[in-house]
């Protein structure tokens, strides 16, 4: 095409052009069988960034890749193996799951779980064995792996007879009590004692109907294992139990993880060589789409394993309208006749057209080679009566008497047009259509002699005068085919915008394409232009342009902030003025000023509430006590979250700081008001009790409502909203406990500073 518009195309451009334009044309659709269409569909799906980067469920990803989900399920585990687990398990439940996984898979081959296996008999508690009285020999078989002669030593130290029966649950309590005595030095060993205490927890857990559930950090501390290992095991249990509804993966991630880990045992057993070859092709396609790589027809044919001719014809369709492709009559006839048996043409050109083209080729070759014809030969060539030609030859011989009745075709037709047709006596022997055909043949001969090139339209104009079977669309197709075979330029390329504009401005407005463009396709092309223009308006402005970056990182995390910082540093090297905007950049910028903002908000909140409470109670000490109590609850809440290893969005701290101070100080004010009221008439102890009796109902009702409502919201929302509500719920609990436990003690301790002296009351 002109102006560098063209035919070095991206995978997405090729697939969309074939599916939207080529296949809709019956003349070209026959060149794409089901196998080829399958590959084109593959290009369409896996060159679309919105598809290959979309986080999908396992079912959706397996459906897109056309691979059974059971074969690619291990990939999810590889992705989430090190991700923080939100699950919680009981101690016995955890041990039982791990033993089952170790017996049925190879996932734990690098993790030492010998101790967990040794105590698994107690965690399973089959037939309620932990609460069943057992004899000495049975206890030896159960506890012998923990410490040699443990049962014999305990029986001896406690003067138990050999036939004495005891439950494992009672026995472990007896062992621990015995080991903790000084006289039991022969059973010493801190590790043994720790293991036995852990075993007690396991037995207690297995026999309890109300099991305690542990998060990763808590269980790691109990089992004295690394948090990373416990986290991996938690994710593994979720995986084996099918609790992975919240696990998602993009097709790009899935394919790359599969290929990277194809030699791992858990992958190799489920993915065969055929799937690996398919995934390797998909990986190349997706990587090319991400890099916006463009291909020549040869590169693309090799890339997806299709024949070059089909792809070359598709590429050439881009060039037809603006290349002004032209051919001489000889080039046209030679090319069409040489390709008449090709799959592309043999069903498109009828026998009458081929016959006309064969005749035209002989005429052109004869003119170029200056061949001469007798009237017998010329009659055979054109299928004209010999008597008529004999008469015309006689006229020619009479005028140009040279005794030679073998005439060149050019001379003969020139003689007819210049001498015979203008003569009224002879002109009546020629019909109007015959005269037109003679003039047309003469023009074609002149073009052949002068090597004149004709466009598709010009060639159609000439040939349509020679035969009614010539179709304009067929001539256009022949020119397209010729262009793909002879005139292809490897440097042709076009952008998506150029392609859509070309379709709207040239193809849709050109009547010759009307038969190939259906209404739905026309609407899609117009809609595509509007989409591009709308997107362009959003991305390109008069002063600034926008670049959108999509990542798989969390909205707020150390990795996200590091990515933003690196991006900022990279941009600063090459760009004078830029802005990084969005939710994550906003969070990053807020984190830079978090400490100052938190301190400022804390101070302002404390001062504002101090003033309000000071005015209410007309006292200095009371607002100090109440504000510090609630602020302690805030710090205690944050401390507990930090110790528990939970992540807290810094914006959550700012919101929770304000809400807790404003909401829960009401409980402190309520209790203090009752205390001051009763303190006027009663002693300290009685005032505390009465204040409790009159305020605790209101405090518990209000605080429980706040805790429950925010906790419910936290369970059904995500990210920042969930974290804020969960933190408010926990903070309300801390505040309520401090108000009911700590505040009365403080008021009693500082009573002399907050209660005016009354000689009638004793302390």
DSSP string, 346-403: TTTS-HHHHHHHHHHHHHHHHHHTT-EE-HHHHHHHHT--HHHHHHHHHHHHHHT-SS
What was the pLDDT predicted at 385? 61
How far is the C-alpha of 108 from the C-alpha of 211, rounded, in Å?
26
Residue 412, token pair as written in the block = 């003969």
Pair type for strands 326-327 and 372-373: unpaired
How many angstroms separate the CA atoms of 190 and 176, rounded? 11
Strand partners, 372: 408
The pLDDT assigned to 709 comes to 92
Nearest by Cα to 313 from 339, 344, 334, 340: 344
The label of the residue with tokens 């009638």 reads 760
Cβ 250 vs Cβ 54: under 8 Å = yes
Give the CA dihedral 136, 142, 147, 151, nearest 10 degrees.
-10
- The helix/strand count (H/E) of the chain reads as 40, 6
Residues of the chain falling short of pLDDT 50? 1-6, 184-185, 321-322, 401-404, 758-762
Instruction: From 82, 115, 90, select the one nearest 227 (Cα to Cα).
Output: 82
pLDDT score at 2: 29
Dihedral (C-alpha) 658, 661, 666, 667: value to the nearest 10 degrees? 130
What is residue 90's predicted lDDT score, i.e. its pLDDT?
A: 87
Please indicate, yes or no, whether the overall pTM of this predicted structure exceeds 0.75. no
- CA-CA-CA-CA dihedral for 689, 691, 697, 699, to nearest 10: -120
pLDDT at 705: 93
**pLDDT at residue number 550:** 84
**CA atoms of 542 and 545, how far apart (whole Å):** 8
Task: Report d(CA 496, CA 429) in Å as an integer.
Answer: 60
**Nearest-angstrom CA–CA distance, 591 and 557:** 11
Per-residue pLDDT at 6 = 43
């Amino acid at each position: 095409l002109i102006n560098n518009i063209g035919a070095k195309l991206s995978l997405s451009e090729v697939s969309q052009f074939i599916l939207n334009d080529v296949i809709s044309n019956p003349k070209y659709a026959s060149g794409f069988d089901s196998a080829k269409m399958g590959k084109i569909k593959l290009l369409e799906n896996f060159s679309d960034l919105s598809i290959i980067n979309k986080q999908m469920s396992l079912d959706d990803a397996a459906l897109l890749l056309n691979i059974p989900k059971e074969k690619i399920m291990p990939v999810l585990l590889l992705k989430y193996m090190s991700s923080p687990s939100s699950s919680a398990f009981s101690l016995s439940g955890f041990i039982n799951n791990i033993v089952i996984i170790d017996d049925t898979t190879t996932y734990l081959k690098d993790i030492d779980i010998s101790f967990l296996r040794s105590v698994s008999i107690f965690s399973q508690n089959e037939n309620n064995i932990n609460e069943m009285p057992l004899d000495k020999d049975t206890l030896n078989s159960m506890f012998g792996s923990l410490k040699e002669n443990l049962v014999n030593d305990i029986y001896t130290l406690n003067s138990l007879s050999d036939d004495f029966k005891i439950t494992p649950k009672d026995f472990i309590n007896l062992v621990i009590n015995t080991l903790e005595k000084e006289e039991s030095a022969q059973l010493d060993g801190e590790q043994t004692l720790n293991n036995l205490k852990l075993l007690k927890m396991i037995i207690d857990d297995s026999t309890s109907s109300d099991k305690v559930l542990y998060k990763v950090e808590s269980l790691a501390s109990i089992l004295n294992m690394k948090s990373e290992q416990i986290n991996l095991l938690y994710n593994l249990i979720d995986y084996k139990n099918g609790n992975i509804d919240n696990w998602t993966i993009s097709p790009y991630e899935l394919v790359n993880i599969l290929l990277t880990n194809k030699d791992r045992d858990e992958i190799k057993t489920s993915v065969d060589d055929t799937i690996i070859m398919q995934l390797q092709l998909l990986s190349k396609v997706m990587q090319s789409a991400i890099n916006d790589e463009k291909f020549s027809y040869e590169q693309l044919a090799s890339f997806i394993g299709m024949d070059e001719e089909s792809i070359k014809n598709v590429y050439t369709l881009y060039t037809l309208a603006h290349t002004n492709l032209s051919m001489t009559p000889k080039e046209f006839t030679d090319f069409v006749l040489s390709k008449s048996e090709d799959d592309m043409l043999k069903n498109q050109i009828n026998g009458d057209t081929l016959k006309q083209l064969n005749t035209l080729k002989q005429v052109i070759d004869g003119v170029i080679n200056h061949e001469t014809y007798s009237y017998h030969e010329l009659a055979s060539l054109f299928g004209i009566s010999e008597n008529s030609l004999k008469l015309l030859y006689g006229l020619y011989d009479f005028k140009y008497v040279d005794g030679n009745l073998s005439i060149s075709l050019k001379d003969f037709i020139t003689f007819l047009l210049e001498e015979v047709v203008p003569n009224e006596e002879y002109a009546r022997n020629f019909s109007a259509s015959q005269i037109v055909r003679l003039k047309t043949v003469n023009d074609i001969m002149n073009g052949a002699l002068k090597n004149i090139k004709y466009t598709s339209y010009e060639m159609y104009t000439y040939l349509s005068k020679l035969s009614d079977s010539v179709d304009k669309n067929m001539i256009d197709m022949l020119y397209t085919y010729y262009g793909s075979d002879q005139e292809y330029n490897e440097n042709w390329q076009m952008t998506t915008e150029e392609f859509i504009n070309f379709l709207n401005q040239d193809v849709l407005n050109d009547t010759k394409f009307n038969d190939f463009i259906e209404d739905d396709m026309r609407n899609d092309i117009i809609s595509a232009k509007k989409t591009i223009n709308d997107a362009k308006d959003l991305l390109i402005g008069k002063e600034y342009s926008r670049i959108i970056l999509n990542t798989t990182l969390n909205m707020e995390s150390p990795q996200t902030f590091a990515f933003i910082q690196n991006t900022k540093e990279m941009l600063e090297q090459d760009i004078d003025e830029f802005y990084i905007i969005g939710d994550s950049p906003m969070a990053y910028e807020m984190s830079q000023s978090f400490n100052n903002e938190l301190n400022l908000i804390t101070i302002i909140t404390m001062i504002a509430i101090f003033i309000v409470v000071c005015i209410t109670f007309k006292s200095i000490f009371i607002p100090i006590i109440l504000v510090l109590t609630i602020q302690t609850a805030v710090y205690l809440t944050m401390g507990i979250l930090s110790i528990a290893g939970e992540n807290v969005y810094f914006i959550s701290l700012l919101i929770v700081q304000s809400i807790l101070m404003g909401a829960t100080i009401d409980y402190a004010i309520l209790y203090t008001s009752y205390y001051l009221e009763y303190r006027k008439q009663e002693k300290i102890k009685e005032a505390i009790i009465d204040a409790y009796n009159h305020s605790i109902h209101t405090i518990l009702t209000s605080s429980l409502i706040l805790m429950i409502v925010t906790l419910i919201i936290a369970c059904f929302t995500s990210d920042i909203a969930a974290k804020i509500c969960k933190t408010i719920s926990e903070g309300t609990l801390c505040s309520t406990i401090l108000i009911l436990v700590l505040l009365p003690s403080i008021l009693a301790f500082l009573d002399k500073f907050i209660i005016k002296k009354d000689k009638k009351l004793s302390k």
